[in-house]
A and B are shown apart, each in its own frame.
Chain A
């Protein structure tokens, strides 16, 4: 007989088309976008400050009004009605159009900013010129393509954040988490760096653009020579900032992750996560949940991490001198230090946590470890000026292009409507990889399953933006301890039987299943003895 896998949406139709409020909202939002589009095509608006304000306000209020139209007449509670029937959220025509436009925008933004009006000589034109007044208010400088992007990014998180809060208003965890993400984006990622740039007016400062909440290796340019030069030439403030950057990596991050899991960062603070959680929320169910995708994910994300470690080591070591009399931290001391540090981590995990690693994780760990140490050895014996096999700047260039631009930007965000909202976080982010290792091996965080109450309905898995098959654990009564979980809490929110809860608890027994509650009340000991 035929396989019946009929997509119900073929016969159904969206629960409702958009209502009047939403139509008005769409008009207002599109009006704002149209102004930006006209500016991009070099329409010269007379009063730029005014027109920019009109555009940004229209976009923001359009989004918020749209959310009001969608949720204000509904009672509180999860309402994912018709998600799979709507073109935009089920990889339909609208989804492809948005995906292609977003991707196109990213390509232009990263590789052809001149089309946005960034002129190397002379004044900005186009859309970048439109943003000049705002940029001058904040930092005193004319806008760049990154300022335009940052402003739109912040507006997206802010306005879609309000939409998210409206949708999940019955859920305090989601509300508080979203406010946190909105705050960190607006203050730390957007305003503070702009204000910091003002300091550079003074001779004493030469600070690079620094989003303080962006931690290495996500912030891979922290150790670029221009960044180090800038920080080191900016007196104590610069030094403190560099120190803070290093302390964040080695001390703050592990402690917080131990206590709360990686969610404190990935879904409470991080900007990439922030965009995924707010603007990306309508696409969270599109992530691939197959076991195959999981296998790919583990290899890709950890490869990016290894790449990031090598690239950074190479960058820093080229920055350092080789004369031991000039400064104690020479190239060789640094390289040996890194090698010892990595070996130490590897050995400690191997001794204390080996039984928690699956077979392929063990192979992967050994493989990468051998490669890294091998490269160190090649370097020290070959005596070449190149660090490892490639020049540091070549590595940095490729990392910036492949990972920083193509992966995190073009694919990560541009493909929201096709692959779901957390493609970058799931497959590419080296920061997520590090935090994930910490979370998997040394964290008090887990998602607990409520005894035997799971009905295997699949809402949790479907709405997991990280593509975790939550149901597979829940129906076994097992706690969920996964490196990739960002702790967004949506699985718990969409569960119709209240089976899942995000918790911080003791390390002991954090994975244990609750098999006795799943089913028959057997005397397990007797059974075991009989077997």
Chain B
């Protein structure tokens, strides 16, 4: 029986395993050094916040794996020997495979800051990171202040987590406004205000110069170059993005770029070895997507795709319309299609921005200037129906159509106030003026 080995038990690897099982009878082994069982990485924050325990973040009960004949192995893979088709594990054991799926995920970025490896400095990606956080910041007595470096989704989640334990947070963001490399300025500024409303000390336009150590080799402060200010702290959270976790593959003969280079079929340069999820890097970007997509949903799609290929229906990774979502403290965010930030906005893209007076809800709709075609929407504080936007994007409807029919896309709970009339009238004023 063909033996499929998957390295990594995150959403990509596990989705691949489940779909291979659905489609075939092959022997499947998942190897992970992180945890025995699959858990939802995106829910790590809720464990620290006390909303859930670790067990609650496991989407399948523990009997699921043996029942579906998916072998789980807790080990760290040191080396891939593709000539012998075998893996060398940290305990010296060797494991043979017929086909190998690399779903090894990411690691937190470190840009060579002095002191970045000190005790008390950490990222937030793995289960072990969460354990470290419990050690470094169990409460406000042991952690009198935390500094978070890097303004992205993980940074704001870490800020929210620490905030629930009353730990004061200073949030250093290099950009002039939070996440404005991705969000248009209206939205980004609304989130700035929302972060500050939660008493987070948000510093925009500042960098990290170095992290200072105390006598015991533990982080005690960070230095900001712009002001030469020294901020005393017990925890430094490095959340300036993630990059593929591929160091162990350096001499394996598998072609690497930033991540593991794959073609549209998620095949690496070596036959029988595939890469999916955060660690996979496309040779050519697909549409407006980046070469490396560290997103939950794309990991899941790649898992499905590679399972098809391995089970005999060679299938290209062909993600549908872009979508994503996140939550900034109390504000939910969803995006469908493409809405570019002010920095990246192409010349033909124009935005309609509406913001509610309570400053917790807004939308931005991107339109093609010449054709009036709808390109994408960002919504904050208003839930939208995925299916409807997917259909509209496929049909290539106009922004006029979207605005007029926005109520069909609303996904807020019953009895919620709706804002379609306000949005429509704001839009009408705008188009009349132009």
Contacts and interface: CB of A to CB of B under 8 A. Distances in A.
A89 to B, nearest CB: 9
Contact of B138 (A13, A81, A451): A13
Contact of A450 (B52, B327, B385): B385
B74 A1 contact: yes
A489 B59 contact: no
A12 B330 contact: no
B217 interface: no
Nearest to B74: A1
Contact of A15 (B52, B131, B164): B164
Contacts of B47: 8
Given A4-B35, A5-B54, A11-B134, A522 B315 contact: yes
Size range of the chain B interface in the assembly: 35 or more
A77 B329 contact: yes
B135 interface: yes
Interface stretch (A34-42, A145-153, A212-220, A456-464): A456-464
Contacts of A456: 11, 40, 42-43, 59
Interface stretch (A168-176, A271-279, A365-373): A168-176
Interface string A449-485: 0111101111101100000000110010000000000
B9 interface: no
B50 A85 contact: yes
Nearest to A80: B51
Nearest to B325: A497
B98 to A, nearest CB: 22
A77 B163 CA distance: 14
Interface residues of A, number: 68
Nearest to A77: B330
Interface stretch (A192-200, A228-236, A245-253, A512-520): A512-520
A531 interface: yes
Nearest to A177: B415
Contacts of A518: 300-301, 304
Contact of B36 (A3, A493, A527): A3
A11 B164 contact: no
A498 B50 contact: no
Contacts of B51: 80-81, 83-84, 459, 462, 494
B383 A450 contact: yes
B52 A451 contact: no
A498 B411 contact: yes
Contacts of A455: 40, 42-43, 296, 325
B53 interface: yes
A296 interface: no
B309 to A, nearest CB: 11
B305 interface: yes
Nearest to B49: A81
Contacts of A78: 330
Given A517-B320, A520-B318, A459 B43 contact: yes
A9 interface: yes
B164 A520 contact: no
Contact of A502 (B198, B313, B413): B413
Nearest to B36: A3
B383 A498 contact: yes
A7 B323 contact: no
A15 B36 contact: no
B54 A458 contact: no
A502 B412 CA distance: 9
17 contacts: A1-B75, A8-B47, A85-B50, A170-B330, A172-B415, A173-B415, A451-B390, A452-B386, A453-B334, A456-B40, A457-B40, A458-B52, A489-B413, A496-B332, A502-B414, A520-B308, A521-B320
Given A455-B42, A498-B384, A522-B318, 16 more contacts: A8-B134, A11-B138, A15-B50, A15-B164, A80-B49, A285-B52, A291-B61, A450-B385, A450-B411, A451-B323, A453-B325, A462-B52, A489-B413, A494-B51, A498-B334, A519-B301
- 3 closest Cβ pairs, A-B complex: A451-B386, A77-B330, A521-B320
